[in-house]
A and B are shown apart, each in its own frame.
Chain A
Amino acid sequence: MALQELWFVVMAGLFLGFFVLEGFDFGVGMLMGMFGRGAGDDAERRRRAVLNTIGPVWDGNEVWLITAGGAMFAAFPDWYATMFSGLYLPLLAILVSMILRVVAIEWRGKIDDPDWRRWADIGIAFGSWVPAALWGVAFAALVRGLPIDADKQLRASLGDLVNGYTLLGGLTTAGLFLFHGAVFVALKTDGAVREEALRFARRLALPVTAVLASFGLWTQLEHGKDWTWMVLLAAGLAQLAATLRVWRGVGEGRAFAYTTVTVAAVVVLLFGVLYPNLMPSMIDPAYSLTIDNAASSPYTLTIMSWAALVFAPLVLLYQGWTYWVFRQRISADRIPDPVGLTRRRS
């Protein structure tokens, strides 16, 4: 396998890691505010239980995106330059929202005050909804093709970014992450929170399946290859299996494994229909960025392959260990009293 092909797979792997891991982080962030409605005083504890299912791991999950950005820069500089300068406004929105999410999660418990927490919850929700939908829009626009000219410059108009297909793409990722997150919370919590999470998952299952099916079929029929039918089928079957599990209300572990397969299959589908392009051009297929005309030199790719070969297994190992360490279910009554300071000195 040529190095460019290997690095295409590595890029797909990094985005797969990002979508699977941050997928449930975004889902948790999107759903968090909806937990505990009507539970009175218990609401705050339940919300904290939900947030703390991703407490020790969300920062490490986010690094998958940072590393994907760095790897794209190293392995396919033209892709990095064209995509991020071309999709300027969506990326700006994603970055601003992710900034707000980081500080909202970290600072939420620092001050024990309802107004303070309300702002933090807005930050968490905003920072989860916006990237969850916009990454879907961005990848759908990539698959659909963008006006890239002979100089590898991309001048995307609003219509290139906002149209039926890309909006459906955004709806699909947001829906998938919501469902993935709800199942994750059901898996990681106990008691009332678990019940609530299962209820959300049940309500989400059918609409998400429908959106996924239409986006998947559209992608496959318009851009697909023969072998990607199998991937689409896998995504569909896993989604149905997860739905069944959730409806029966047992075995969240299995259900979570299925939603993971669904998210992973969607990433494989998107990268699969792209290959061997990185960014197909609508103006002229000859202007498309491909794994050959956008890649770094063989020397850089070799060096980066060694770095990835050494560090990637290590990352998987210790991130896996972290999940193992914090494997226990969290219930609302295990959440300690708030230790934040008051707003003013008492």
Chain B
Amino acid sequence: MDALDVSRWQFGITTVYHFIFVPLTIGLAPLIAAMQTTWLVTGNTSWYRLTRFFGKLFLINFALGVATGIVQEFQFGMNWSEYSRFVGDVFGAPLAMEGLAAFFFESTFLGLWIFGWTRLPRLVHLACIWVVAIAVNLSAFFIIAANSWMQHPVGARVNPDTGRAELTSIVALFTNNTAIAAFTHAVFGAFLTAGTFVAGVCVWWMIRARNENEAQSMYRPAAILGCIVVLASTLGLVVTGDVQGKLMFEQQPMKMASAESLCHTATDPNFSILTVGTHNNCDSVVHLIDVPYVLPFLAKGEFEGVRLEGINDLQSQYVEKFGPGDYRPNLFVTYWSFRAMIGLLAVPVLFSLTVLWLTRRRRIPQSRWLSRFALAALPAPFLANSAGWVFTEMGRQPWVVVPNPTGDPMIRLTVAEGVSGHPVGMVVLSLVAFTLVYAVLAVIWFWLIRRYTVEGPQEHDTEPAAPLPPGSDEVAPLSFAY
């Protein structure tokens, strides 16, 4: 292994860790805001207890999201300094704006929300969680716009004097069709994650609820809310995924060809469900189960007469264009991560449909298998999110900035050109340090989430006292203290 491989492993590991916690934050913040709004509008304290219950889980998760996020901000400079020099003019802008326009909002207003239960007027306090909910989504937009620029660079040119990419249009960068498709897709993925989480936890509690009333007034409505969010997000995921797929066939044909194990250029190739073969040997791949019509539709929205380029042809085209080199991503990973991402969607959808059917007309299901199904459904969206990002990122290898077929062909960089020139030992040290620290923290995170979920909504979380006017409560205990 050289510093390049270690740096790639490190970025992959730290980013996948980060994106375990991030979707739950992005999706759960608006759901908690909606719960708190419902409580204030209806005065129903069930929604207050749900807000508090999921609020605690949200905060346990938020901490690790922040902790793993700090590293990302500096890792570009630490391990990918040549990349940072080449793209800093373009890539730095969305990153800095994310800090200015999103991180400041979410961190400050989350502090106000956590500590402001009896200090702020109720509507102001509600506004705080909505600001958090909007800001976490806004930060996702900025960072995904930055990432999408690497997949499909627009609004920039290479300055021949400095040899660096320079921004020419911030509007083009923020309206990059790749960015809009990827952002909406990721947000629906996050909502799916949070919806499944709320539905799974509440179904599990509905079945083991201490009394009929709690199940009926608290867990059932929240479970139904979660299920509806899951189904709506699934619809959004399918539509945005389709848009994204069509963009990829146009902008990154190599990624899609390898997702399909499509070795040779063909007209109307079949969509492959199962293949076997020697890893990463294109010609040894044997397609076992194929479906016709699907692939042409995915690529162009037509069922017939679509010609798709295969990996071997793309490889020779790229060699001609960009010089000698291997321009193929890891076939095994792209093929299977694509299928895992799509296939895992079935679990939350099936779960939601089952729950919606079993809770129809005020019914409270009692079956043991449903509570097991609820627990089994929880990890599926997390795995699908990871699989999707692994596909997106490993599908663009060997590039770190993929050449845009209709843009400035000089804006391109391979990962080998982007890495810092560190000795291997130093990068191994940071890889080991981050992996160990994150692994320990992830175990504690899981244990805390499990512990707090099993404990359920607390008895003492009855409706809070009305907020006191500032200045009059010198001796009142704080409503929350670390």
Expressed in whole angstroms, the Cα–Cα distance for A335 and B477 within the complex equals 6
Pairwise interchain contact B426-A328, C-beta atoms closer than 8 A? no
Shortest C-beta distance, B446 to chain A (Å), equals: 13
- Judged by a CB distance under 8 angstroms, whether A63 is at the interface is yes
- In the complex, which residue of chain A has the Cβ closest to the Cβ of B441? A103
Within 8 A of B (CB), among A41-79: 48, 51-52, 55-60, 62-63, 66-67, 69-75, 77-78
Pairwise interchain contact B110-A303, C-beta atoms closer than 8 A? no
Name the A residues within 8 Å of B82 (CB-CB): 81
Pairwise interchain contact A48-B92, C-beta atoms closer than 8 A? no
Contact with B along A318-346 (1 / 0, CB 8 A): 11001001101010011110010100010
- Judged by a CB distance under 8 angstroms, whether B365 is at the interface is no
Pairwise interchain contact A341-B475, C-beta atoms closer than 8 A? no
Name the B residues within 8 Å of A109 (CB-CB): 481-482
Name the B residues within 8 Å of A300 (CB-CB): 89-90, 92-93, 166-167
Whether A52 contacts B481 in the complex (CB less than 8 A), given A77-B92, A312-B100, comes out as: yes
- In the complex, which residue of chain A has the Cβ closest to the Cβ of B113? A56
- Judged by a CB distance under 8 angstroms, whether B120 is at the interface is yes
Expressed in whole angstroms, the Cα–Cα distance for A85 and B430 within the complex equals 12
Expressed in whole angstroms, the Cα–Cα distance for A91 and B429 within the complex equals 13
- Judged by a CB distance under 8 angstroms, whether A178 is at the interface is no
Name the A residues within 8 Å of B62 (CB-CB): 106
Q: Which of A58, A99, A341 has the most CB of B within 10 A?
A: A99
Shortest C-beta distance, A184 to chain B (Å), equals: 16
Pairwise interchain contact B112-A74, C-beta atoms closer than 8 A? no
Contact of A322 among B96, B112, B437 (CB under 8 A): B112
- Judged by a CB distance under 8 angstroms, whether A92 is at the interface is yes
Contact of B71 among A89, A99, A105, A333 (CB under 8 A): A99
Name the A residues within 8 Å of B91 (CB-CB): 73
Expressed in whole angstroms, the Cα–Cα distance for A83 and B159 within the complex equals 23
Expressed in whole angstroms, the Cα–Cα distance for A85 and B71 within the complex equals 13
- Judged by a CB distance under 8 angstroms, whether B420 is at the interface is yes
Whether A98 contacts B60 in the complex (CB less than 8 A), given A107-B444, A335-B477, comes out as: no
- Judged by a CB distance under 8 angstroms, whether A122 is at the interface is no
- In the complex, which residue of chain A has the Cβ closest to the Cβ of B473? A328
- Judged by a CB distance under 8 angstroms, whether B439 is at the interface is no
Within 8 A of A (CB), among B60-98: 60, 62-64, 66-71, 73-74, 76-79, 81-82, 84-85, 87-93, 95-98
Shortest C-beta distance, A49 to chain B (Å), equals: 8
Pairwise interchain contact A56-B168, C-beta atoms closer than 8 A? no
Expressed in whole angstroms, the Cα–Cα distance for A247 and B399 within the complex equals 62
Pairwise interchain contact A296-B88, C-beta atoms closer than 8 A? yes
Name the A residues within 8 Å of B471 (CB-CB): 328
Q: Which of A70, A72, A319 has the most CB of B within 10 A?
A: A70
Pairwise interchain contact B430-A325, C-beta atoms closer than 8 A? no
Pairwise interchain contact B110-A66, C-beta atoms closer than 8 A? no
Shortest C-beta distance, B89 to chain A (Å), equals: 4
- Judged by a CB distance under 8 angstroms, whether B368 is at the interface is no
Shortest C-beta distance, A15 to chain B (Å), equals: 13
Q: Which of B70, B460, B479 has the most CB of A within 10 A?
A: B70
Whether A296 contacts B481 in the complex (CB less than 8 A), given A85-B81, A311-B104, comes out as: no
Pairwise interchain contact B477-A336, C-beta atoms closer than 8 A? yes
Whether A81 contacts B448 in the complex (CB less than 8 A), given A60-B107, A69-B73, A311-B104, comes out as: no
Name the A residues within 8 Å of B119 (CB-CB): 325-326
Pairwise interchain contact B482-A105, C-beta atoms closer than 8 A? yes
Pairwise interchain contact B104-A63, C-beta atoms closer than 8 A? yes
Contact of B70 among A99, A110, A318, A345 (CB under 8 A): A99
- In the complex, which residue of chain A has the Cβ closest to the Cβ of B479? A336
Pairwise interchain contact A73-B88, C-beta atoms closer than 8 A? yes
- Judged by a CB distance under 8 angstroms, whether B111 is at the interface is yes
- Judged by a CB distance under 8 angstroms, whether A307 is at the interface is yes
Name the B residues within 8 Å of A106 (CB-CB): 59-60, 62-63, 482
Shortest C-beta distance, A297 to chain B (Å), equals: 4
Whether A96 contacts B104 in the complex (CB less than 8 A), given A52-B482, A299-B168, comes out as: no
Expressed in whole angstroms, the Cα–Cα distance for A77 and B93 within the complex equals 10
- Judged by a CB distance under 8 angstroms, whether A230 is at the interface is no
Pairwise interchain contact A85-B73, C-beta atoms closer than 8 A? no
Pairwise interchain contact B104-A57, C-beta atoms closer than 8 A? no
Pairwise interchain contact B68-A88, C-beta atoms closer than 8 A? no
Pairwise interchain contact A63-B107, C-beta atoms closer than 8 A? yes
- Judged by a CB distance under 8 angstroms, whether A82 is at the interface is yes
Pairwise interchain contact B100-A67, C-beta atoms closer than 8 A? yes
State the main secondary structure of chain A at its contact with B.
helix
Pairwise interchain contact A77-B477, C-beta atoms closer than 8 A? no
Pairwise interchain contact B481-A96, C-beta atoms closer than 8 A? no
Name the A residues within 8 Å of B59 (CB-CB): 106
Pairwise interchain contact B116-A325, C-beta atoms closer than 8 A? yes
- Judged by a CB distance under 8 angstroms, whether B452 is at the interface is yes
Contact of B66 among A59, A77, A308 (CB under 8 A): A59
- Judged by a CB distance under 8 angstroms, whether B292 is at the interface is no
Pairwise interchain contact B99-A70, C-beta atoms closer than 8 A? yes
Contact of B92 among A74, A108, A315 (CB under 8 A): A74
Name the B residues within 8 Å of A341 (CB-CB): 451-452, 455
Whether A88 contacts B482 in the complex (CB less than 8 A), given A107-B448, A307-B97, comes out as: no
Pairwise interchain contact A70-B95, C-beta atoms closer than 8 A? yes
Pairwise interchain contact B420-A85, C-beta atoms closer than 8 A? yes
Q: Which of A80, A89, A98, A111 has the most CB of B within 10 A?
A: A80
Shortest C-beta distance, B58 to chain A (Å), equals: 11
Expressed in whole angstroms, the Cα–Cα distance for A96 and B14 within the complex equals 12
Contact of A56 among B79, B88, B115 (CB under 8 A): B115
Pairwise interchain contact B81-A303, C-beta atoms closer than 8 A? no
Pairwise interchain contact A82-B81, C-beta atoms closer than 8 A? yes
Name the A residues within 8 Å of B420 (CB-CB): 85
Contact of A48 among B76, B104, B454, B482 (CB under 8 A): B482
Name the B residues within 8 Å of A307 (CB-CB): 93, 96-97, 100-101
Pairwise interchain contact B111-A110, C-beta atoms closer than 8 A? no
Expressed in whole angstroms, the Cα–Cα distance for A99 and B89 within the complex equals 28
Shortest C-beta distance, B28 to chain A (Å), equals: 15
Contact with B along A92-105 (1 / 0, CB 8 A): 10011011101101
Name the B residues within 8 Å of A78 (CB-CB): 85, 88
Whether A77 contacts B444 in the complex (CB less than 8 A), given A307-B101, A318-B108, comes out as: no
Q: Which of B85, B108, B429, B433 has the most CB of A within 10 A?
A: B108
- Judged by a CB distance under 8 angstroms, whether B478 is at the interface is yes
Pairwise interchain contact A59-B477, C-beta atoms closer than 8 A? no
Give me the interface of B with A, judged by CB distance under 8 Å: 59-60, 62-64, 66-71, 73-74, 76-79, 81-82, 84-85, 87-93, 95-101, 103-105, 107-112, 114-116, 119-120, 159, 164, 166-168, 170, 420-422, 426, 429-430, 433-434, 437, 441, 444, 448, 451-452, 454-455, 458, 460, 470-471, 473-482
Nearest 5 pairs of A and B residues by beta carbon: A77-B88, A84-B77, A74-B92, A67-B99, A106-B63
- Given contacts A55-B111, A59-B107, could you give 5 more A-B pairs where the C-beta distance is less than 8 Å? A48-B481, A66-B73, A96-B434, A296-B166, A336-B479
Give me the interface of A with B, judged by CB distance under 8 Å: 48, 51-52, 55-60, 62-63, 66-67, 69-75, 77-78, 80-85, 88-89, 91-92, 95-96, 98-100, 102-103, 105-111, 152-153, 296-297, 299-300, 303-304, 307-308, 311-312, 315, 318-319, 322, 325-326, 328, 330, 333-336, 339, 341, 345
- Ordered by A's residue number, 16 sampled pairs between the chains whose C-beta atoms are within 8 Å are A58-B111, A62-B107, A69-B99, A75-B96, A85-B78, A91-B74, A95-B71, A98-B70, A106-B62, A107-B63, A109-B481, A297-B167, A307-B97, A318-B105, A334-B475, A336-B480
